[in-house]
Amino acid sequence: MKDWGLIAVGLLVIMTNVTSDRTVIVTGGAQNIGLAIAKGFHADGATVIVADLNPPDDNTLLFRKTNVVDEDSVTTLMEHVASTHGRLDVLVNNAGIAIEVPIKDMIVDDWDRIMMVNVRSVFLMTKLAFPLMTNGVSKNPAIVNISSIEGLAANPNHGVYGASKGAVSSFTHNTALEYGPYGIRCNAIAPGWINTPFNEQFLEQYPNLEKVTSEIENLHPVGRLGLPEDIANTAVYLASEKAGFITGQEIVVAGGRMAKLPLPNL
């Protein structure tokens, strides 16, 4: 039986000018970690499409307004990439949101909203990218999911966020297994404490910002907090041919924090 979806994508490829550059989609690439990832791939010579609700403040990146929880919106994104670029080599599922709420006070809407943005989006993007990544022109196709160390261990009041990131980690394993035979690798990056406004808000709760920053730095054997570029560098590597024997893995990028057993601050 013919696979008309694949044939349609193949025809689109013939009808468009396919460049030799890799084409990369970064969800949630308008700011912070996603923007650093998008810039990292752009610096590596790729054509980068930011799929976000808002545009990035950087005109070297292409932008497609996309709501990653919405199937129609993701379908439209993939159709655009097929007709304009004819290929998709790398998908970075980075869009994500968090809330801070104790389990006993959490309402069903909180749970559903976080699960939609953090988990449903990864499923939709991964499923709908498949025809484009297997149309015969993708170079070393790879998917990189952004999970979190909070999928591996807990911070209080982050129950749904942690559960969503654990799900991303698990889905990464399945994607690696199911897409592996088609030549697509899939890995996750679990960032630790990355200096972004989300964490700045946490720090600002404390009157002695210098003290709390230095306490948090001390949790990290490398002696500093993470930068969005730390995640970007790892994403570019994981999507490259140099990582060709790595799939189904979750790489913790957390300055060694997860290697350190807590001791009382005596």
Indicate whether 94 belongs to the interface with ligand NAD (CB under 6 A).
Answer: yes
Q: Minimal CA–CA distance to 246: which of 258, 254, 256, 238?
A: 238
Task: Give, as ranges, the residues between 168 and 187 that touch ligand NAD (CB under 6 A).
Answer: none
Q: Does 225 help bind ligand NAD (rule: CB under 6 A)? A: no
**61 with 38: CB under 8 angstroms?**
yes
Site residues for ligand NAD, 106-135, by CB under 6 A, read: 117
Catalytic option among 161, 182, 206, 237: 161
8 A C-beta contact, residue 95 and residue 25:
no
Under the binding rule (CB under 6 A), the answer on residue 199 touching ligand NAD is: yes
> Using the rule CB under 6 A, is 96 a contact of ligand NAD?
yes
Q: Which candidate, 152, 149, 141, 155, places its Cα nearest to that of 103? A: 155
Asked if 161 is an active-site residue, the reply is yes
**193 touches ligand NAD by CB under 6 A:** yes
DSSP annotation of 21 reads S
| Cβ burial, residue 111 (10 Å; 0-12/13-18/19+) | middle
| Contact by Cβ (8 Å): 163, 110 | no
Choosing from 12, 26, 33, 82, the residue that interacts with ligand NAD (CB under 6 A) is 33
> Which of 3, 11, 43, 54 touches ligand NAD (CB under 6 A)?
54
CA distances from 241 to 133, 140, 189 (A): 15, 7, 17
Sequence-distant (6+) residues with CB within 8 A of 192 are: 149, 220, 226, 252, 253, 254, 255, 257, 258
Binding test (CB under 6 A) with ligand NAD, winner from 28, 86, 159, 255: 28
Of 180, 198, 222, 244, the one binding ligand NAD (CB under 6 A) is 198
Please work out the total of residues on this chain that contact ligand NAD, with binding judged by CB under 6 A.
28
53 or 154, CB closer to ligand NAD? 53
Q: Does 31 contact ligand NAD by CB under 6 A?
A: yes
Smallest gap from Cβ 1 to ligand NAD, in A, equals 35
- Residues 5 and 59: their CA atoms lie apart, in Å, by 33
Residue nearest to ligand NAD (CB): 96
> Which H, E and C letters describe 38-49, residue by residue?
HHHHHHCCCEEE
Q: Which stretch binds ligand NAD (CB under 6 A): 47-55, 102-110, 171-179, 207-215?
A: 47-55
Active site residues: 161
* Interface with ligand NAD (CB under 6 A): 27-28, 30-34, 52-54, 66-69, 94-98, 117, 146, 148, 191, 193-194, 196, 198-199
